[in-house]
Amino acid sequence: MARTSRAFRQMHAIHAWTGAVTALALYVVMLTGAVAVFARHDLAAWADPAVNAETDPGFSAERALRLSIARFQAETGAPAGSAILFFPQPGAARAHVSIMAAAEDGAAGHDGVDYRLDAGRGTDASAVVGRAAGDTERLYQTDWTTPLGSFLVHLHTDLWLPPPWGRYLTGLLGLTLLISALSGLVIHRRLLRDALLLRWPRGRSARWREAHKSVGAWGLLFNLMIGLTGTLLSFAAALLLPIVAVIGFGGDVAEAERVFVGIPPAAGVERPTADLDRLMADVSTRSPGFRPAFLHVHHLDDAAAVVDVTGFDRGAVSQAKYRFDGATGAFRSRLDGLADDAALSKTLAMLLSLHFGNFGGGLVKAAWALLGVASAGLVLSGLMSWVERRGRLVAGPVGSAAGARLAAPLAAQAGKPAGRRAGAPAGTPGRAPSGRGYGLLARLAGGVGVGVPLGLAGVMAAAHPMAALTPSSAAATGALTLVFWSLVALACALAIALRPLASVLGGLLTAVAICLLAAVVARGFLAGVWPWHSLAEARWSVVMTDLVLVGLSGGLAWAGLRLARLGLARRAAGERAGAVVP
Amino acid sequence: MTGWVAWMLVLGGLGLAVRVRRRSPRSALWRVAAWAGSGLALAVAAGLWIGALGVEVGLVVWLALVPLSALAVVALFGRRGPRRAEKPDGW
């Protein structure tokens, strides 16, 4: 019994401390992840009204590729080594083609150009609406079609820290989430019994605790999945592949990648690659309802060329890959098992699909976003209850003189003097309460808790003005990054400096609401597209985005004003009673 | 349409489970029937989604929408008063 109790306490400590140490960073990653699931298509369509909603029926993969290759060769004078075409998706007719220059040994190099195409204009020269050049890392950072999308995705995947440190950090945060979910499962002994009830106690911190338990219980599977896939995705490219390369390939990462992806070296004999439209028609015949995601031509116009068409078969979560001989256009194989020679890309694609929920349309993405917001709240509620509990043990309710007075009877109930540190002899007189550190942490948590939504709302509001003011998408992305972190820092500073805290947080929530409404208005003024225009054009993802922004704005304004009034009323009541309200 | 029907079944099944958990009916027959009905509704919903969306997507949709719906149902109908006197807090 004693051993069980000790193990339980240890597990509880692991759960509390892993969460407490990483909670704020984890909150940023989880909340931005909830928005980032929409970044590539829905928000891209919202952020760039110039792009058509529907793909032109005459859109041709072959012509899009050849058009981009011709541009690439005219601009760089280098031969193209490989090409990836990302297909337009329903609701946003954006396609893009990444052309990588051929390396000296005939393999695909790491420098190239990414062309953005408006597939609503077909595939003539006017369809090319943007370009980005650089190495694969740079193209990876700019390939999210709009500055807003690029900013959101990279905030989630690496917090805009320099590679590979950002990936390491988010990988560790994923691991933390996994550990917290598993330890939470162990310490919540009555998970099934409590899952169907929500106790609603009087104190706010007690409500934080109950909400934490309820969301934790129902979000357990999601958090386990997100933690596992996030950790593997972060470490797969940054750490696992280099380790495998060192162990099995003498440190040659490119060779390890090539073996796992299953592509033989180039033959060095020129031969035109088969018509891609014919290959796409072949895939549609083999898999009715197939939804293509991207097409990869390895060793372009080489006798050993290989074409991989990757996408979703009907009803599948993981992507399947249809492989063709590039020179003859003959079908080779369908790769969808973990045992075949595309195991690495298959595994990564499955992890990506599950992590971002991009396999089942808008409904799955909406569910992922809601679960992501709930999980972000879970992290914050866990931190707040930890701060309250630790602060209470040290000096009563965190950061308050009133709390210090309340602490004495509580400490007496617990059989120890208020302010006594662990390990001090029993009967030692309690020192003056010193919960300032926890008070500061509570304020910081409140600042980050509202600051991140404020930063995201500010970025939404700034997306169109920045696109209009800045010359390149990279500059616009940089400006959005500055806006986001400035607003988060401002919210933290206000939460720490001003009192009462509830009123400050209420005011910040109202600012979030104003920014969300400003996003819709800025889009209307600068792009000339108001919600009713999108409705008339049946651009449903844009209409939904506008509706969500306006609805959230109304809800947050109501909640913010209510919280601000509550804080002021409590301070007035506290002053009348001679207490200090934090 | 199938998706909406399946979602209604999920909400109904969860509502039934919350009710039986909250009220703890004395009749064992009623308890067993309620739990069985709840489980059946959830299982049929899973079947409908799998039939409409395929095994993989249908199952994942079920696994995502049941917790979300449960959070809403529990927050709306599963509230219960405090178990004991709560300590005051500083918020």
pLDDT single digits (tens) B6-63: 999 999 999 999 888 888 777 888 888 989 999 999 999 999 988 888 887 888 888 8
Q: Identify whether B82 is part of a domain.
A: no
Q: Do A205 and B64 touch (CB under 8 A)?
A: no
CB contact under 8 Å between A201 and B86, yes or no, is: yes
| Angle between helix A165-187 and A147-158 (nearest 10) | 60
How distant, in Å, are the alpha carbons of A31, A103, A139, A475 from that of A132? 28, 19, 7, 12
Peptide bond before residue A500 is cis, with ω within 30 degrees of 0:
yes
pLDDT along chain A (582 residues), means of 10: 70 84 92 90 78 76 89 85 84 79 63 80 73 67 69 88 86 92 84 78 76 88 92 79 75 72 77 91 91 88 89 79 90 71 68 83 87 93 84 57 44 44 44 66 91 96 87 81 95 91 93 96 89 85 91 96 88 71 55
Q: How far apart are CA A179 and CA A200, in angstroms?
A: 27
Separation between Cα atoms, residue A129 and residue A473, nearest integer Å: 12
Q: Which of B55, B80, B91 sits opposite A204 (nearest CB)?
A: B91
Q: State whether B90 and A315 contact (CB < 8 Å).
A: no
Domain membership of residue B90 (yes or no) is no
User: Which of A193, A198, A436 should we substitute to test contact with B (largest number of B Cβ atoms within 10 Å)?
Assistant: A198
Rounded distance between C-alpha atoms, residue A418 and residue A387, angstroms: 16
Q: How far apart are CA A431 and CA A422, in angstroms?
A: 12
Task: Produce one character per residue of A376-412: b if its CB has 16 or more CB atoms within 10 Å, e if not.
Answer: bbbbbbbbbbbbbbbbbbbbbbbbbbbbbebbeebbe
Structure tokens at A402: 């009133």
Q: Is residue B32 part of a domain?
A: yes
pTM recorded for the entire structure: 0.81
CB atoms B57 and A364 under 8 Å: yes
Put simply, the answer to whether A314 touches B89 (Cβ < 8 Å) is no
Q: Which residue among B54, B61, B67 sits closest to A222, beta carbon to beta carbon?
A: B67
- Whether B47 is covered by a domain: the verdict is yes
- DSSP three-state, residue A130: strand
Residue of B nearest to A405 (CA): B90
Residue A413 is predicted with a pLDDT of 43
For residue B24, being part of any structural domain is answered with yes
**CB within 8 Å: B56 and A315:** yes
Cα–Cα distance measured from residue A535 to residue A544, given in angstroms and rounded to the nearest whole number:
9
In chain B, which residues have their Cβ closer than 8 Å to the Cβ of A196? 17-18, 21-22, 70, 74, 78
**Pairwise CA distance, residues A276 & A307, whole Å:** 8
Which among A199, A368, A374 is the nearest to B83, CB-wise? A199
Tell which B residues from 42 to 61 touch A, by Cβ distance under 8 Å: 53-58, 60-61
- Is the CB of residue A120 less than 8 Å from the CB of residue A539? no
Chain A CB contacts of B57 under 8 Å are: 315-317, 359-360, 364
Quick check: B56 and A219 CB within 8 A? no
Note whether A214 contacts B79, CB cutoff 8 Å.
Answer: no
* Number of domains chain B is built from: 1
C-alpha–C-alpha distance, residues A549 and A284, integer Å: 37
Cis peptide before A164 (omega within 30 of 0): yes
Using the CB atoms, write b or e for A315-353: b if 16+ within 10 Å: bbbbbbbbbbbbbebeeeebbbeeeeebebbbebbbbbb
Is the CB of residue B80 less than 8 Å away from at least one CB of chain A? yes
Query: Which of B61, B74, B90 minimises the CB distance to A403?
Result: B90
Residues 6 or more apart in contact with residue A471 via CB below 8 angstroms = none
Q: Under an 8 A CB cutoff, do A199 and B87 touch? A: no
Q: How far is B75 from chain A (nearest CA, A)?
A: 7
Angstrom distance (rounded) from CA A350 to CA A320 = 9
Q: Which amino acid is at A441?
A: L
Beta strands B79-80; A108-118: pairing state = unpaired
Q: Which residue has the higher pLDDT, B88 or A372?
A: A372
Reading the block at residue A580, the tokens are 């200090």
Mutant choice from A215, A287, A317 vs B, greatest count of B C-beta within 10 A: A317
Among A200, A221, A396, the residue with its CB nearest the CB of B90 is A396
Instruction: Count interface pairs A-B at CB distance under 8 A.
Output: 127
pLDDT of res. A426: 43
Give the model's pLDDT for residue A483: 95
pLDDT at A291: 87
Domain membership flag for residue B83 = no
Residue B86 within a domain: no
Full domain range(s) for residue B43: 2-77
Note whether B68 contacts A215, CB cutoff 8 Å: no
pLDDT, residue A410, reads 42
pLDDT of res. A477 = 84
Q: Report which of A103, A35, A64 is spatially closest to residue A369, judged by C-alpha positions.
A: A35
B88 in a domain, yes or no? no
